[in-house]
């Protein structure tokens, strides 16, 4: 269990914006060495400059998390600069919008690669190294309340977030059985003011957009998502919850007061009716 982050080394993917950047800043305040990984070169450079100006020991590593070789290089670079890694936050995430069958192979592949396969690769790369150094360590995977309850028009996103919850719970149980030095947490926020609704800024050139055309409700759902994100909580509040959750060695880190009621309502509906609560028609 990590109780004091001072002098510890943390690696955060998607660390130059949103939740990742908020955690980078918070850990810097806690006295940690921060390794910021991101696919956006400009944002990464700005983050490194901010940390340098604040006197935070840091390393910025341009990283495409869909490339296993780059994840391995990230782990190597972190260890070469600061020594053992104590916290990994698999945080990079994207989304697409549209009916499941109308989203392209490229859209499905992109979301699966960034949101799920990269998380698996991060765990498989860093976990053995953390176990080998033997010091208190922790892995945090970003899922979502979209990994606790499904909905329409974002099937690739829901698929990956449910899978990240399952992966994290599986790793947690394994850690309990072998009395591992590595704690496991999964972050399940609701709406947060991040750039997730502008995922297209990092999409592959060949993908052709992140929203299925308006005739299939794509644009309207995209607008709904953007409005929800804009009305969400600040990333700094999520960072506070993360630090508290890791110190308390929680598996699930929930960030919104209403999340507990949402989970209970979903469970009750499934047990009593065999169906989750129906989401209102976003096309209206």
- The residues carrying an active-site annotation are 157
Task: List Cα–Cα distances, 266 to 150, 192, 279, in angstroms.
Answer: 10, 21, 12
DSSP category for residue 259 = H
Element (H, E) at 268: helix 259-273
The CA-atom distances, in angstroms, between 96 and each of 106, 144, 226, 247 are 10, 15, 12, 34
What are the CA-CA distances from residue 34 to residues 8, 15, 29, 44 (Å)? Answer: 8, 10, 11, 12
Q: Is the dihedral of CA 275, 252, 142, 163 positive or negative?
A: negative
User: Do 151 and 158 contact (CB within 8 A), yes or no?
Assistant: yes
- What does the block give as tokens for 160? 């990956």
Within 8 A by CB and 6+ apart from 269, the residues are 275, 276, 277
């Amino acid at each position: 269990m990590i109780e004091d982050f001072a002098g510890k080394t943390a690696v955060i993917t998607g660390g130059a914006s949103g939740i990742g950047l908020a955690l980078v800043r918070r850990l810097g305040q806690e006295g940690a060495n921060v390794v910021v990984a991101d696919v956006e070169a400009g944002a990464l450079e700005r983050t490194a400059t901010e940390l340098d100006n604040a006197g935070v020991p840091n390393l910025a590593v341009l990283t495409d998390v869909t490339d296993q070789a780059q994840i391995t290089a990230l782990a190597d670079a972190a260890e070469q600069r600061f020594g053992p890694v104590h916290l990994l936050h698999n945080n990079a995430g994207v989304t697409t919008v549209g009916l499941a069958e109308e989203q392209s192979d490229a859209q499905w592949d992109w979301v699966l690669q960034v949101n799920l396969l990269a998380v698996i690769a991060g765990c498989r790369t860093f976990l053995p190294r953390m176990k080998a150094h033997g010091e208190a360590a922790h892995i945090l995977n970003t899922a979502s309340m979209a990994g606790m309850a499904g909905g329409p028009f974002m099937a690739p996103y829901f698929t990956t977030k449910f899978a990240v919850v399952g992966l994290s719970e599986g790793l947690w149980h394994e850690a309990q059985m072998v009395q591992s030095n590595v704690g496991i947490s999964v972050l399940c926020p609701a709406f947060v003011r991040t750039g997730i609704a502008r995922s297209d800024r990092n999409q592959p050139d060949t993908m052709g957009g992140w929203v299925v055309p308006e005739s299939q409700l794509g644009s309207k759902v995209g607008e709904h998502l953007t409005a929800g994100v804009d009305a969400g909580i600040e990333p700094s509040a999520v960072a506070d919850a993360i630090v508290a959750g890791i110190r308390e060695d929680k598996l699930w880190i929930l960030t919104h007061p209403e999340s507990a009621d949402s989970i209970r309502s979903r469970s009750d509906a499934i047990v009593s009716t065999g169906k989750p609560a129906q989401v209102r028609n976003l096309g209206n």
